[in-house]
């Protein structure tokens, strides 16, 4: 419907929400880029529906589960990208592996959230210069002795 704004005729796009049946400006509807269309429900209705959905019985546990699955998937992906095994002792069981920040800036990085760390690594093309896979035991040993001493110890074991 055309309206006058400061004397100009402006075409204002509106949409009728399928839920509350109110006609609102399109900016009240989220735009889905992939589908190239606006949401059929207005933001208010979508938020209310989202909140109700999260409060459904059992939803909290299911969310926790799917988060856990997502977490392991991401972790495995990062481990694969970085070589899939401990750089020093070649341990490859993912439950023993950690991501080591070569420049020792891990503490600062982890402040952004552990998930952020994973996503940063996945997005980073120079990841192998900054991160490496170590198992817990090699990583802990690293706090005590030099890298060279650890490698010597591993060689001696074999």
Q: Does 150 bind Zn ion (CB under 5 A)?
A: no
Contacting range for Zn ion; rule: CB under 5 A; set: 5-13, 47-55, 72-80, 134-142 = 134-142
> Quick one: 79 or 86, whose CB is closer to Zn ion?
86
> Quick one: 106 or 119, whose CB is closer to Zn ion?
106
> Quick one: 45 or 82, whose CB is closer to Zn ion?
45
Q: Strand 2-5 vs strand 37-38: parallel, antiparallel, or unpaired?
A: unpaired
The C-alpha atoms of residue 133 and residue 102 are separated, in whole angstroms, by 10
Q: Does 133 bind Zn ion (CB under 5 A)?
A: no
Q: Judge whether 130 and 124 are in contact, CB under 8 Å.
A: yes
> Quick one: 89 or 117, whose CB is closer to Zn ion?
89
- Residue pointed to by tokens 């400061």: 6
With DSSP H G I counted as helix, E B as strand and the rest as coil, what are the percentages for the chain, rounded to 5? 50, 20, 30
Q: Judge whether 122 and 77 are in contact, CB under 8 Å.
A: yes
Q: Does 89 bind Zn ion (CB under 5 A)?
A: yes
The residues of the shown chain that bind Zn ion, judged by CB under 5 A, are 17, 19-20, 42, 45, 86, 88-89, 91, 135, 138
């Amino acid at each position: 419907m055309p309206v006058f704004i400061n004397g100009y005729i402006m075409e204002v796009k509106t949409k009728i929400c399928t839920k509350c049946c109110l006609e609102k400006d399109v900016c009240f509807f989220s735009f889905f880029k992939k589908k190239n269309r606006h949401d059929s429900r207005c933001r208010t209705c979508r938020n209310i529906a989202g909140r109700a959905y999260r409060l459904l019985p059992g939803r909290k546990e299911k969310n926790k589960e799917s988060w856990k699955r997502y977490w392991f998937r991401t972790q495995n992906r990062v481990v694969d990208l970085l070589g899939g095994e401990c750089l020093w002792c070649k341990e490859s069981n993912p439950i023993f592996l950690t991501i080591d920040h070569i420049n020792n800036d891990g503490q600062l990085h982890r402040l952004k959230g552990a998930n952020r760390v994973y996503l940063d690594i996945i997005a980073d093309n120079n990841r192998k210069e900054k991160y490496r896979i170590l198992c817990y035991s090699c990583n802990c040993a690293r706090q005590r002795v030099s890298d060279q001493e650890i490698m010597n110890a591993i060689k001696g074991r074999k």
